[in-house]
Amino acid sequence: MNQKHVRSKFERLGRFYILALSGIAAIIIISQVLIQNFIASQQDDSHVINVAGRQRMLSQRIAKAALLISQSESLEEMKQHADELKNVVDLWETSHNGLLKGDTTAGLKGKNSRQIEAMFETITPYYIIIIENSRALIARVASRSSFDEPLQVAVKELTATILQNEGPFLATMDDIVSQYDKEARARVDKLSVTELILVAISLSIIILEFIFIFQPTARNVNQTIKNLAESELSSNQMAHEINRLYVELGKSYQDLEAIKVEPKSYAVLCKTRDDGAIYWTSEFMREKFVDETTKLPESLFDFFKHDGHQRDAIEGVKKLLSEGKTWTGEMKFTEVSGDFLWLDLTITPTTNRTGGNELMVVGRDITDVKEAQMMARELNREKIEKSVNELRYRSVLILEGQEEERSRLAKELHDGIGQMLTAMKMNLDSVSLTGASHNRQRLDDIKHFLNSVMKEVRRVSFNLAPSSLSDFGLVPAVRKFCTEVNKVSEIEVEFVDKTQFINRLENNIEMNIYRIVQEGVNNAIKYSGAKKITITFSHNPSQLTISIVDDGKGFDYKQLAETGHFTESGHGIFNMKERAAFVDADFQIESEKGTGTHIAITVPI
């Protein structure tokens, strides 16, 4: 009884599913046919309306050119306007014939409604008179070699005839353009109504499919995946906390309040002439930089150079002082004892008692302040790095828990649902129907549906925990992943193993590298708009290098990185970086707009 109930349930599910897919497929095909026909029709309509509207303008240009010929004051001027008239008449005649009979070179099909054909019959007499008189006017001007009265009289008669017929032609042409536009709008309205009907049918099928097929199935799957989602969210929050601590580490470099040190007082250290020659030094300077074997350089600037300061910086100080300005800054020196000495210096141009120019060097010893700053930084660094390591350890445990949960879920799908589906398929295979053909067809449809479900279960199980990764290693798993993606994606995914890497790494390293590759390819498929994605493996004795390259639209990575876009948990690139750090791999990404994206992962082996 139970087996019969299960079989009946799957028969009903199979019928609903096949009917739903067939209905949606039929509607999609019908919609595409209608839309494509409509797009082609719209392009034709717009082109026809444009050409018909241009006919009105060309008839006015014909009348204008004829008037200019009749008002010309020389034969040369007449011929110039006659050439212009000829060009306009040729285009006018070609367009008129194209609207009536069609013209493939001009993109006109010549398929008009009865109303428009009747309007063209009304306009034809005026059109013929204008054409004939325009041609006659052009020929009359071209054949004459002198500008005389008979020519002028003939030109005016022909022009008058053209002008007399141009008005009725223009009025009827306006009606033709309006009719073209009216018919195009009617086709748009008809397509809109048809499209609304198709959308309503599609939505109805989707709602029924959701209620009777996907909702019952999704209820069980959602409960199974819930724990995995919660674990992943916890991991992302932990990773975000690690990133926050790194930011605090950077800020701690400016924290000087950990150790309070009062700087010493300012004092005059030395005096020099305006060229920097030292003629007086303080006791502090002699104590720090002079002994039995060492003397101060004769020039202040030589003193700076002797202690390793950059030549360009010293030249900048000299230039500033020569302009009569004061220089202030911090400099590091080496005492005669070999210890480092930091001085906060101010060099000011002054005038001595005799009116001469000199430089006064005032400063104070800030070595204790600098050492206190460095000590504070080290204390803060050790404190934050300790917190980072603790959080990273907890993050590692969560990542490992995620993979265990993925493996458990994959095993349940493969060994539980997969085995039940296999058993059901075997039971169906054992059923032999000798009755009506429609019953045999129904059984074949159910078998086909079960095969599809079993393939989907295997695909989901592979994505959660690919068995080829644990059985054969990283390269076969990535190669199989590329094959599976190529089956369902329009973007080509190519795998290139340059050095035939066959080494087996630790399980957690292989799993995390596989997840990085999976994330990188999925991101490229979703966002890059690429035509091809290439995954390349290469290695040397010390490291394995994996590159993921796409030829898509790329993005401004530097700008997004500066705004902190990739520091938020849950972001694909953020997750890849965290997994790379987990296995001590180097993660690099390069991308610019219009140049695609290149991801490189270097794994120590």
For residue 564, the domain's CATH number is: 3.30.565.10
Asked whether residue 243 is assigned to any structural domain, the reply reads: no
Same domain, 341 and 446: no
Same domain, 147 and 18: yes
Spatial distance between the Cα atoms of 365 and 144, rounded to a whole number of angstroms: 107
Asked whether residue 238 is assigned to any structural domain, the reply reads: no
Spatial distance between the Cα atoms of 55 and 59, rounded to a whole number of angstroms: 6
Same domain, 14 and 123: yes
Asked whether residue 564 is assigned to any structural domain, the reply reads: yes
Spatial distance between the Cα atoms of 331 and 269, rounded to a whole number of angstroms: 14
Percent of the chain with pLDDT over 90: 7
Residue-wise pLDDT tens digits, 210-233 = 576 656 655 554 555 665 556 556
Residue 248 has pLDDT above 70, yes or no: no
Strand (E) or helix (H) holding 327: strand 327-334
At 6 the pLDDT is: 42
Confidence at 387, pLDDT banded by 50, 70, 90 = low
Partners of 437 in beta bridges: none
Residue 257 has pLDDT above 50, yes or no: no
**C-alpha separations of 223 from 227, 468, 526 in Å:** 8, 27, 27
Asked whether residue 184 is assigned to any structural domain, the reply reads: yes
Q: How many domains does the chain have?
A: 4
- Structure tokens, 169: 């032609």
Confidence at 486, pLDDT banded by 50, 70, 90 = confident
Confidence at 253, pLDDT banded by 50, 70, 90 = very low
For residue 160, the domain's CATH number is: 1.20.1330
Asked whether residue 352 is assigned to any structural domain, the reply reads: yes
Same domain, 454 and 351: no
Query: Considering only 107-116, 172-181, 380-389, 534-543, which range has the smallest mean pLDDT?
Result: 380-389
Residue-wise pLDDT tens digits, 324-359 = 889 998 888 888 888 888 888 999 998 887 878 898
Residue 583: how many CB atoms within 10 A of its CB? 20
* Last-in-domain residue among 350, 365, 380: 365
At 537 the pLDDT is: 92
At 456 the pLDDT is: 60
Asked whether residue 193 is assigned to any structural domain, the reply reads: yes
Sign of CA dihedral 465, 469, 475, 480: negative
Spatial distance between the Cα atoms of 171 and 235, rounded to a whole number of angstroms: 76
Q: State which amino acid sits at residue 408.
A: R
- Sheet strand arrangement including 532-539: 492-497, 532-539, 543-550, 597-604, 586-591
Asked whether residue 235 is assigned to any structural domain, the reply reads: no
Contact 52, 248 (CB under 8 A): no
* Last-in-domain residue among 335, 365, 395: 365
At 346 the pLDDT is: 92
Q: What is the mean pLDDT of the chain?
A: 76
Residues contacting 138, CB < 8 A, separation 6+: 82, 85, 86, 89
- Structure tokens, 153: 């009289």
For residue 303, the domain's CATH number is: 3.30.450.20
- Please give the torsion angle defined by the CA atoms of residues 452, 454, 460 and 461, in that order, rounded to the nearest 10 degrees: -160
Asked whether residue 230 is assigned to any structural domain, the reply reads: no
Residue 188 has pLDDT above 70, yes or no: yes
Pairing of strands 327-334, 278-281: unpaired
Same domain, 118 and 61: yes
Residue-wise pLDDT tens digits, 495-537 = 998 877 777 888 888 888 988 998 899 888 888 889 999 999 9
Contact 569, 239 (CB under 8 A): yes
Q: How far apart are the first and last CA of the chain?
A: 58
Contact 556, 576 (CB under 8 A): no
Confidence at 190, pLDDT banded by 50, 70, 90 = confident
Question: CA angle at residue 466 from 465 to 470, to 5 degrees?
Answer: 95
Query: Considering only 40-49, 125-134, 448-457, 556-565, which range has the smallest mean pLDDT?
Result: 448-457
Q: Structural domain of residue 556, as residue ranges?
A: 466-604
Helix (H), strand (E), coil (C) string for 517-583: HHHHHHHHHHHHCCCEEEEEEEECCCEEEEEEEECCCCCCHHHHHHCCHHHCCCCHHHHHHHHHHHC
Same domain, 220 and 73: yes
Same domain, 432 and 514: no
Mean pLDDT across the stretch 59-76?
Answer: 86
Same domain, 21 and 134: yes
Same domain, 491 and 430: no
Same domain, 595 and 503: yes
- Structure tokens, 467: 């068995």
Same domain, 420 and 505: no
DSSP class of residue 299 equals B
Work out the angle between the directed axes of helices 437-464 and 474-488 (0-180°, nearest 10): 130
Query: Considering only 3-17, 192-206, 262-276, 591-605, which range has the smallest mean pLDDT?
Result: 3-17
- Structure tokens, 551: 């030829």
Contact 504, 605 (CB under 8 A): no
Contact 428, 447 (CB under 8 A): yes
Same domain, 278 and 299: yes
The full length of the chain comes to 605
Residues contacting 112, CB < 8 A, separation 6+: 99, 100, 120
Q: State which amino acid sits at residue 336.
A: V
Spatial distance between the Cα atoms of 296 and 419, rounded to a whole number of angstroms: 90
At 410 the pLDDT is: 54
* Last-in-domain residue among 365, 383, 417: 365
Contact 49, 176 (CB under 8 A): no
